[in-house]
Chains A and B, each alone.
Chain A
């Protein structure tokens, strides 16, 4: 008996999975950018909207996970189709996490909405810009099957690290000058750290895109500038 793989049906279902990934990515990106916007503009209303949307993101991630299992059961995929469906399950986790980060930042935004900010926020929105650009690149690369574009995401993560370090230095100085600032400075440090972790998750997504398209497991670090051992080197392992 010849195996009958209905390529047409399989492709239709796979396209639907991809569409769900893109939608999840868009929601996660919106969550985190609105949260930063709310933080910067001390807009508690907007921050609460972000928090209210968190369940929608979780629901979509769960639906995507289920859809992947149905796809695997229905088609018993092999090769690129198998790489796609397993990778999409991983990507769903990464994107959902980024959505959660939006929620975490929104909580900080609510807390700080009626307090005087210890400094105008400049580098944190800048980190967001880089993160958004990374997400957009990773998702377009996924949508258009472009492994080269996915690789471009890796080097952008260097910029995220630079910005985080810059923010850290600045906030440390502010704290040293006036210990009363420690509480808020710590919250802002956490926001920067959260964005930096978001970058790591986007990097995972880009790695997965390359795996789907080429069958090769790539390490983002191979595309990034070499890094000396720093007190923060453990961070990389944490996220693996």
Chain B
């Protein structure tokens, strides 16, 4: 049974007076992978960052409309943004492990949220690394720097770090664009696993990747949500001519 987890209602995003998202309305389903596609500058990454209020860091950014996560508007007054970001984890384009050990990278979030007991942290670190399909590769060198890992391993470390706080939602902003094909394949495999426990929203420039790993796909163009549908439908017979033109490489 499909259940809505994130609901975007008439979302507009402005950077100063420039409107970069126009009236975005759609629902993201729980424990599914939703891919956001579109040419550079279409607003897909901006929308992704609205879901955990990352745009708050940009002084000129202003959001109108509502985004409901689990039924509550995350832009309403009095929302605990720290708690929101614990619930909505994020993985970025370039792997960005903190300059600390593998263990400390993963334990960082839980510690920040007040967990101090060693055995509990050990457990969280192990479970998170297992969940990110990295445990077997690093279990004997947890005290070595996270920056010493390969690019693909670093990205999985970032995923482990993101899931260590037990979020409901994982946002991924082009998580494989800096990785080689093998490392990309491992992340894609991992995403399929992750959706058993998490709701994944992924921005990707690689349409074959969106076709491979997502359940639903949203196509953005110049700030508009042009089309949103089940992924097989989007990549075989989309309704909108602009979607068709984009996925067949006629522009973008």
- Give the B-binding residues of A (Cβ under 8 A): 1-3, 5-7, 10, 76-83, 214-216
Contact: A79 with B238, CB < 8 Å? yes
B148: min CB distance to chain A, Å:
25
Q: Give per-residue flags for B104-141: 1 if the beta carbon is below 8 A from chain A beta carbons, else 0.
A: 00000000000000000000000000000000000000
Q: Is the interface of B mostly helix, strand, loop or mixed?
A: loop
In contact, B247 and A2 (Cβ under 8 angstroms):
no
Decide if the interface of chain A is mainly helix, strand, loop or mixed.
Answer: loop
CB within 8 A of B211: which of A1, A10, A78?
Answer: A78
Q: List 18 A-B contacts (CB under 8 A).
A: A1-B177, A1-B205, A1-B206, A2-B252, A3-B207, A5-B249, A6-B249, A77-B248, A78-B211, A78-B236, A78-B247, A78-B248, A79-B236, A80-B244, A81-B248, A82-B235, A82-B236, A215-B244
The smallest beta-carbon distance between A72 and chain B, in angstroms, is 12
Interface string of B186-220 (1 = CB under 8 A from A): 00000000000000000001111001000000000
CB distance from A76 to the nearest CB of B (A): 5
**B-chain residues with CB within 8 Å of residue A214 when the two chains form the complex:** 237
Q: Cα distance A79–B217 when bound, in Å?
A: 13
Which residues of B line the A interface, CB within 8 A? Answer: 40, 177, 205-208, 211, 235-239, 243-244, 247-250, 252
Query: Is the beta-carbon distance between A76 and B208 smaller than 8 angstroms?
Result: yes
Q: Are B250 and A7 in contact (CB under 8 A)?
A: yes
- In Å, the complex CA distance between A76 and B208 comes to 7
State whether A79 and B205 are in contact (beta carbons under 8 Å apart), knowing that A1-B177, A5-B249, A10-B249 are contacts in the complex.
no
Listed from nearest, the 6 A-B pairs whose CB atoms lie closest are: A215-B237, A5-B249, A78-B247, A79-B247, A79-B248, A78-B235
**Docked pose: A5 CA to B246 CA in angstroms:** 10
- Checking A1, A3, A7, A79 against B235 with a beta-carbon cut-off of 8 angstroms, the contacting residue is A79
Cα distance A80–B205 when bound, in Å?
19
Min CB–CB distance A81 → chain B (angstroms) = 5
Please give 16 more A-B residue pairs, beta carbons under 8 A apart, in addition to A2-B205, A2-B252, A216-B237: A1-B205, A1-B206, A2-B40, A3-B205, A3-B249, A5-B248, A7-B248, A7-B249, A10-B249, A79-B236, A79-B247, A80-B244, A82-B235, A214-B237, A215-B236, A215-B244
